[in-house]
Structure 1
Amino acid sequence: MDPVRARRRHLVRLGGGLGRRPRPRRRRPCPRRAAPRRHPAPARHPRGPRDARRRRGAAPVRPRRGHRHARRPAARDRLDLRHRRRPAGPVPPGPDRVPGADVVSALRDGAARPAGVELTVVIAAFDAEATLGEQLDALAAQRAPFGWELVVADNGSTDGTAALARSYADRLPVRVVDASATRGAGAARNVGVSVARAPLVAFCDADDVVGDGWLVAMRTALRTHAFVAGRFDAERLNTPRVLRSRTVPQTAGLQESTRLPGLHAAGAGNMGIRADVFRAVGGFDPGCLFLEDTDLCWRVQLAGVPLTWVPEAVLHVRLRGSVRSSAQQGYHYGTGERWLALRYREQEDRLRALASAGAPAAEAVAAAVPAVGAVVAAEGPAAGRPGSGEPAATDPGT
């Protein structure tokens, strides 16, 4: 090694000033400090005199009441305050709210019934988005010189039935109620009548179309008679092939009962009844999933209220178009016939005995009314329930 270099290195080790300057030591960057923050912390608010008082242990300075920095109550407290300021009294039912027993009792007593509403139209609907719009258009085109309302009882639809009905709020006095607690068209109609605000009730279905002047004809008939039924027309909504393959009842008169002589039946899709009579007989039987309208017609007539034919109230009925749907409907009707046969077995024997003795039909029914009425009252509207099943179709028995 060169002696000069050796001497310089020796002097550097001894700390002398003759050696070369030592190189500055490089600092390796820390990975954590060098990497940017994924979530940068918010900038801290500059400390003020209030923070200094907290650091010294003094009591915090609170703004006076009414100052803009004063603490406002939480959102929950504000909602509670608004709720407490609400005036006392019954809460009017909303579009999706089915009122409880207190509201139903108020409606029955007439306390919550607004002035001017004379007729309530009830539609039981289940997955009827494809056909309900045509029915609502026909109701919106009605010219009624009186107050009326529309109640759509949704029986648990999974499509846009409820939303479609609410979209007509600017054209119709419509309310949508949840009737999914019990499956079946009869149970849905019962829910609709329970929230009705009028003393007169008319029924139509979601897959049919009311004719011109239907509202006026129903209201006029119900002001004179307590239980009415209109006429069916199948020419407008069905093809000639479907018309040739089906027989449409209730086109020239009421349906005659082959099981109970002297009694008539009608489809619930074109029917009207006074609300007090409907509630007195118990409404539609929720246990009767098929031919529930026939059961209601028999119970009302056996209670002493006749069924009146109103041909001016025309309803355009939509028949089942496919073979499969027609076969399924026939099976449902057979189930309903068996249910009616089991329930009215004793009444059928009594009426047939009176008819065979030569008594006119009207006198035979009048003679059987006390016994039949006592049996129906003892059994209740849900007696002889056959069990659960699929939702009943909302067509008028065709």
Structure 2
Amino acid sequence: MPPGDVVCSVVIPTYNAAHLIGQQLEALATQVDAPPFEVVVADNNSTDDLAAAAGAWADRLDLRVVDASRAQGVSVARNVGIEHARTDRILICDADDVVCPGWVAALVKALDTHTMAGGPVETARLSGASANWSPIDTQTTHLLTTWGNRPYTFGGNTALRREVFDAVGGYDENYPAGAEEIDFAWRAIDHGYTPVYVPDALVHYRIRTDLRGVLRQQYDSGRGTATLYAKFRPAEVVPKSVPRRLHHELLLLKGFPWRGTGDQRRSWLTVMAFEAGKLVEARRLGSPAP
């Protein structure tokens, strides 16, 4: 790490990732043309040997492990990590992903002229076959958008100025493990902060490599989508009536690819898991399902 004061802070929200975080820390330790930066590992009540796994990199990185165990959830860990950061330029990545060699440099440069930014993700390198089951493109080429074409950054590939975090009030800790980054981006946009796309800030994104894990991810994503709708009730989204909802779900059920490949059947299951999560959470919240 070059001498001098750090220019930015890399925050890594982490839960039980001792077996994976070394890959991400190695990627950060070998960044190209990066300014001096610190790494803040926000430990969200891990029960493995995370502290030792992260501490092993303290001779190659300006690294601290901070206690983020006051409540469970990725939003809690992100908020605590950002609160402990020593700079006003915050880069967020996940413990189980791997950033590209120019990730830090590209995002820091973007923050010279913008207040919030994000880059693409690639899913095949770390995920293998399960990359074909996920609705995420194997290589994204722009920021994703949601209702009303509002852009948002991937939670694990985000850069922001501290003023954005302070204005928004941090990540909403009431979300399930899904859509909390969309919620953050929407509130940032409402405060006048629109994220920009940085194509050189690539992250190799890890999808769960077992079907059960992928289905859980999609189920939680559906829950998060229902939470997002219940909170914002965007005017452009018209909830389906009961007959239309039943018709929609029946069409999905009829669409099972009996003659398709194994990957096609698993992809269908991920769609159904997302729908199930959305319906279950909407009912729990007493809100129409989007």
TM-score interval (norm. to shorter): 0.7 to 0.9
1-structure distance, mates of 2:73, 2:130:
26
Q: Compared with structure 1, are the counterparts of its residues 296 and 180 closer, same or farther at alpha carbon in structure 2 (3 Å cutoff)?
A: same
Q: What SS does the corresponding residue of 1:331 show, helix, strand or coil? A: helix
Q: Compared with structure 1, are the counterparts of its residues 138 and 301 closer, same or farther at alpha carbon in structure 2 (3 Å cutoff)?
A: same
Q: What is the aligned counterpart of 1:243 among 131, 156, 168?
A: 131
Residue 145 of structure 1 deviates from its aligned partner by: 4.6
Q: What is the aligned counterpart of 1:267 among 143, 154, 165?
A: 154
Aligned to 1:303: 191
Aligned to 2:23: 134
- Using the TM superposition, name which of 155-164 and 327-336 deviates more: 327-336
Aligned to 1:280: 167
Q: Compared with structure 1, are the counterparts of its residues 307 and 145 closer, same or farther at alpha carbon in structure 2 (3 Å cutoff)?
A: closer
Is the aligned partner of 1:327 residue 2:211?
no
Aligned to 1:186: 75
Q: What SS does the corresponding residue of 2:117 show, helix, strand or coil? A: strand
Give the conservation status (yes or no) of the 8 Å contact 2:143–2:152. yes
Alignment of 1:371-390 (within 5 A): none
- 1:264-302 Cα distance to aligned partner (Å, 9 max, x none): 122110010001111111010111132211110111011
Residue 307 of structure 1 deviates from its aligned partner by: 1.2
Is the aligned partner of 1:224 residue 2:90?
no
Which structure dedicates a bigger proportion of its chain to helix?
2
Residue 116 of structure 1 deviates from its aligned partner by: 2.5
- 1:48-80 Cα distance to aligned partner (Å, 9 max, x none): xxxxxxxxxxxxxxxxxxxxxxxxxxxxxxxxx
Q: What is the aligned counterpart of 2:145 among 247, 256, 267?
A: 256
- TM-score when normalising by structure 2: 0.77
Which runs of no fewer than 5 residues in structure 1 stay unpaired?
A: 1-114, 354-385, 388-398
Is the aligned partner of 1:313 residue 2:201?
yes
Q: Radius of gyration: which is bigger?
A: 1
Identical aligned residues as a percent: 38
Give the conservation status (yes or no) of the 8 Å contact 1:186–1:289. no
Aligned to 2:55: 166
Residue 124 of structure 1 deviates from its aligned partner by: 0.4
Counterpart residue identity of residue 7, structure 2: E
2-structure distance, mates of 1:238, 1:125:
19
Counterpart residue identity of residue 117, structure 1: V
Q: What SS does the corresponding residue of 1:201 show, helix, strand or coil? A: strand
Q: Compared with structure 1, are the counterparts of its residues 203 and 145 closer, same or farther at alpha carbon in structure 2 (3 Å cutoff)?
A: closer
* Structure with more relative contact order (C-alpha pairs < 8 Å, separation 6 or more): 2
Q: What is the aligned counterpart of 1:176 among 54, 61, 65?
A: 65
Residue 352 of structure 1 deviates from its aligned partner by: 6.8
Which runs of no fewer than 5 residues in structure 2 stay unpaired?
A: 239-283, 286-290
Give the conservation status (yes or no) of the 8 Å contact 2:34–2:104. no
Q: What is the aligned counterpart of 1:339 among 208, 227, 237?
A: 227
1-structure distance, mates of 2:127, 2:226:
29
2-structure distance, mates of 1:267, 1:146:
23
Residues paired across the two proteins, number: 236
Give the conservation status (yes or no) of the 8 Å contact 1:118–1:146. yes
1-structure distance, mates of 2:183, 2:15:
21
Over 4 Å off, 4+ runs: none
